[in-house]
């Protein structure tokens, strides 16, 4: 009997304030979508770090005719200097840090440049003699970059030693900023959702003030009177959270899985399974926000 009464009150409240309930659903949906997007972006950053950090290399660039570094004052690298660098890489003192290494000639560098900048107007204006030859070194432990840098930066014929992790860190920094922007927008939208839930509950309580007055007179408990109002807000928020979860799953499945993964097959992307980690948190967050907002509103506008 009591359950049927509560369910009836919830249905009545949802029908009376249908436009406001739809507004709560939409605002909650948008805000939690931003929260989920920030979470997915962070998962993607962590996955890319784990994937790319295993593949990063240290590039030992050699002197060419156009080098301006002080270490290249004597001119381009000679065959003897190149051989010395290779022997150093294979020496017992260095080999313990090196997993693999690959020599890249100027012609190889030009081929890679043309592949990377195939759609750029400058691709045809660059020649092989403008690009440095290099040794691409994969380390057993990428954290040992400084050891390689100290050894090779002082060798004759070496222009510069570059750790590719620095480039990745700049990319990840931009992605982290994008994640913070998404969280900031989500925070603003969550505040809007809380205010809208509070307004909806207040209007619902005002429209049913006669019923609640009668319930007080017949001795209904505080929980029985307030529960329908709280559940109205929670139901709207949960629907918004479910819509946000479905949207994020669709993005992961069709945009990331079917399109991005096909366009960039060498990049490790998160799967739609990652949304299963985020969806429960979104539903819980929506439930908690709606519940707290409703209770605080009822304490002020529905005296029991």
Q: For 240-296, write each residue's pLDDT tens digit.
A: 999 999 999 999 888 888 888 787 776 678 888 888 889 999 999 989 988 888 877
Please give the model's pTM, rounded to 2 decimal places: 0.64
Q: How far apart are CA 207 and CA 184, in angstroms?
A: 35
Q: So what's the pLDDT on residue 83?
A: 92
Pairing of strands 158-163, 98-104: unpaired
CB atoms within 10 A of CB 215: 17
Stretch 138-144: mean pLDDT = 80
Gap between the Cα atoms of 45 and 51, Å rounded: 10
**Residues linked to residue 139 through DSSP beta bridges, in sequence order:** 98
- Domain boundaries of the chain, sorted by first residue: 2-52+169-301, 58-163
Which pLDDT does position 118 carry in this prediction?
62
CB atoms within 10 A of CB 98: 18
Share of the chain above pLDDT 70, in %: 78
Dihedral, CA of residue 87, residue 88, residue 93 and residue 98, to nearest 10: -90
CB 52 within 8 A of CB 132: no
168 has pLDDT over 80 = no
- Please report the pLDDT score of residue 241 as a whole number: 92
Structure tokens at 130: 């403008």
Q: Which residue has the higher pLDDT, 282 or 210?
A: 282
CATH of domain 58-163: 3.30.70.3040
* For residue 3, pLDDT beyond 60: no
Helices marked H in the chain: 2-16, 18-52, 79-90, 92-95, 106-116, 145-152, 165-207, 209-217, 222-250, 261-263, 275-301
Q: Is the dihedral of CA 204, 290, 272, 255 positive or negative?
A: positive
pLDDT score, position 148? 85
The two three-digit tokens of residue 61, written as one number = 């660039």
Residue 1's pLDDT band (cuts 50, 70, 90): very low
């Amino acid at each position: 009997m009591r359950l049927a009464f509560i369910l009836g009150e919830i249905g009545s409240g949802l029908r009376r304030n249908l436009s406001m309930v739809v507004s709560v659903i939409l605002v909650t949906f948008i805000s939690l979508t931003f929260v989920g997007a920030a979470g997915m972006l962070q998962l993607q950053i962590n996955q890319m770090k784990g994937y790319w950090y295993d593949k990063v290399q240290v590039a030992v660039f050699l002197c060419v005719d156009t080098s301006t570094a002080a270490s290249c004052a004597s001119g381009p690298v000679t065959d003897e200097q190149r051989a010395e660098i290779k022997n150093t890489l294979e020496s017992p003192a260095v080999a313990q840090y090196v997993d693999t290494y690959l020599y890249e000639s100027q012609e190889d560098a030009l081929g890679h440049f043309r592949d990377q900048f195939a759609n750029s107007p400058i691709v045809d204006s660059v020649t092989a003699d403008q690009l440095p030859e290099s040794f691409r070194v994969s380390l057993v432990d990428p954290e040992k970059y400084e050891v390689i840098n100290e050894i090779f930066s002082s060798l004759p014929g070496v222009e510069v030693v570059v750790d590719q992790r620095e480039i990745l860190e700049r990319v990840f920094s931009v992605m982290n900023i994008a994640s913070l922007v998404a969280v900031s927008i989500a925070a603003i939208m969550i505040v809007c959702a809380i205010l809208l839930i509070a307004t909806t509950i207040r209007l619902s309580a005002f429209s049913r003030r006669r019923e609640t007055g009668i319930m007080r007179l017949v001795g209904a408990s505080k929980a029985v009177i307030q529960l329908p109002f709280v559940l109205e807000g929670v139901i709207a928020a949960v629907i918004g959270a479910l819509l946000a979860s479905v949207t994020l799953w669709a993005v992961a499945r069709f945009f990331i899985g079917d399109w991005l993964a096909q366009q960039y097959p060498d990049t490790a992307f998160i799967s739609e399974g990652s949304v299963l980690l985020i969806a429960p948190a979104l539903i819980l967050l929506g439930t908690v926000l709606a519940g707290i907002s409703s209770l605080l509103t009822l304490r002020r506008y529905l005296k029991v």
